Amino acid sequence: MKVATKKMALGQFFTKNNFWLQKHILKFIESAKADTAVDPFAGGGDLLSVAKSIGFKKIIGFDIDESLSWKINDSLFSIPQIKNSIIITNPPYLTNYSAKRKGIYENVAKYFVTCHYDDLYQLAIEKCLENDFGVMIIPETFINSSFPKNRLVSITIIEDQLFFDTETPVCVICFDGKNKLYDEIEIYKKDVLLGNLGHFERMRKVPQKNVFMKFNAPTGQIALRAVDTTNPMRPISFMRTDEIDYDVANIKHSSRLITVIELNIKDNLIEELIKLSNELLTDFRGKSNDVLLSPFKGNKKNGERRRRLDYATARAILESAYEMINPQPQLFNLR
Ligand SMILES: C[S@@+](CC[C@H](N)C(=O)[O-])C[C@H]1O[C@@H](n2cnc3c(N)ncnc32)[C@H](O)[C@@H]1O
């Protein structure tokens, strides 16, 4: 296998910075009272070096790459159980879609056919959960995924760059052997506790589809720049179609970053709808600390993570603004 292919197929991006080891994560590791730290996807051994530095006398690494000096094990099939251990790892990340796009699917097909996940990191979590305790650095998109999260103790969003060779937005999950309610799972950004997972899940905006709206319709009246720019003053926003600095003729059915939306609305109400939608979006982002918006590669100039607004949430926001402008007739109970 060529070096570049191997790097992609095995997800060989090593964790070179320690910003992931926030105080509450260290506390969690200590609370496990494990005597061995295990990295089933050990790579350059950087996480095991951290484990040593925080006091683990015994460390065990596995990897599938024979050119590394670890015991060979295919940890996406199974991880040897080590008594009284905690897993500390950063597994490979690779979506089914990008494996196909990069022409390396044949290298990883054997994993995708065994599971229903669309990214290898999720299969890695499933295997690691066979251990009682673990800390895993994984893509932040995990938060918006449907992967069951009941075993988690916390999710920590890390905005600082952990890697030299990829900007994939990541978070750290800590898990133990107990099943929990989502209200018992803590969400942190760096070292700041934002709330619990249940609280954030209840804030999700779900579209009612009760108002006609067509996304990616170049002749529509409202444009949406659905991604934060690197300038904190130019966040995701709704605007009139003629205000967007983009040739809307290029918008395709698959456009996910910039769109134009067609609605049934009188021309004189468009400005108000845009203003209200932007206010609702700002309010939602503030209250949810951006936890529910998809992470986007590359931070803003102020170090915060850029975000993308998915079209379901955008639709829900536009629907709420629309209903504020066109209130439904009151239904009176005549009994
Ligand atoms: C993202 S790197 C992380 C390495 C290390 N944990 C770190 O954080 O620096 C993932 C590692 O998993 C290894 N790997 C990929 N697929 C594997 C598999 N099926 N079983 C075991 N190791 C695998 C790769 O060779 C690579 O070294």
Q: 52 and 15 in one domain? A: yes
* Per-residue model confidence (pLDDT) at position 333: 47
* Per-residue model confidence (pLDDT) at position 335: 45
Q: Closest by alpha carbon to 97, among 35, 141, 148?
A: 141
For residue 41, report the distance from its CA to the centre of ligand 1, in Å.
Answer: 4
Q: Does pLDDT of 44 surpass 70?
A: yes
Q: Does pLDDT of 312 surpass 70?
A: yes
Q: Is 63 in the pocket of ligand 1 (CB under 6 A)?
A: yes
State which of 174, 203, 232 marks the end of a domain: 203
* Per-residue model confidence (pLDDT) at position 13: 82
Q: Is 228 in the pocket of ligand 1 (CB under 6 A)?
A: no
Give the burial class of 307: count Cβ atoms within 10 A of its Cβ; 0-12 exposed, 13-18 middle, 19 or more buried. Answer: buried
Ligand 1, atom 13, residue with closest C-alpha: 41
* Per-residue model confidence (pLDDT) at position 26: 98
Instruction: Give 250-275 pLDDT, tens digit per residue.
Output: 998 888 899 999 999 999 999 999 99
Instruction: Give 183-222 pLDDT, tens digit per residue.
Output: 999 999 999 999 999 999 999 999 999 999 999 999 999 9
Q: 193 and 79 in one domain? A: yes
Q: What is the mean pLDDT of residues 276-297?
A: 96
Instruction: Give 149-170 pLDDT, tens digit per residue.
Output: 999 999 999 998 888 778 889 9
| Measured distance CA(204)–CA(143) in Å, rounded | 12
Q: 176 and 88 in one domain? A: yes
Q: Closest by alpha carbon to 194, among 58, 291, 312?
A: 291
| Measured distance CA(151)–CA(173) in Å, rounded | 10
Residue 105 sits in a domain whose CATH number is 3.40.50.150
* Per-residue model confidence (pLDDT) at position 12: 85
Q: Does pLDDT of 174 surpass 60?
A: yes
Q: Is 90 in the pocket of ligand 1 (CB under 6 A)?
A: yes
Q: How confident is the model at residue 239 (pLDDT cuts 50, 70, 90)?
A: very high
For residue 61, report the distance from its CA to the centre of ligand 1, in Å.
Answer: 10
Q: What is the mean pLDDT of the chain?
A: 94
* Per-residue model confidence (pLDDT) at position 328: 64
Q: 141 and 116 in one domain? A: yes
Show the domain range for 252.
213-325
Q: Does pLDDT of 331 surpass 70?
A: no
For residue 134, report the distance from its CA to the centre of ligand 1, in Å.
Answer: 16
Ligand 1, atom 27, residue with closest C-alpha: 43
Q: Is 220 in the pocket of ligand 1 (CB under 6 A)?
A: no
Q: Does pLDDT of 176 surpass 50?
A: yes
Q: Is 15 in the pocket of ligand 1 (CB under 6 A)?
A: yes
Asked, for residue 333, whether it belongs to a domain, the answer is no
Q: Is 168 in the pocket of ligand 1 (CB under 6 A)?
A: no
State which of 203, 232, 265 marks the end of a domain: 203
Probe residue for ligand 1, chosen from 15, 18, 63 as the CB with the greatest number of ligand atoms within 8 Å? 63
Q: Whole-model pTM?
A: 0.92
Probe residue for ligand 1, chosen from 41, 49, 70 as the CB with the greatest number of ligand atoms within 8 Å? 41
Residue with tokens 């918008």: 251
Q: 172 and 48 in one domain? A: yes
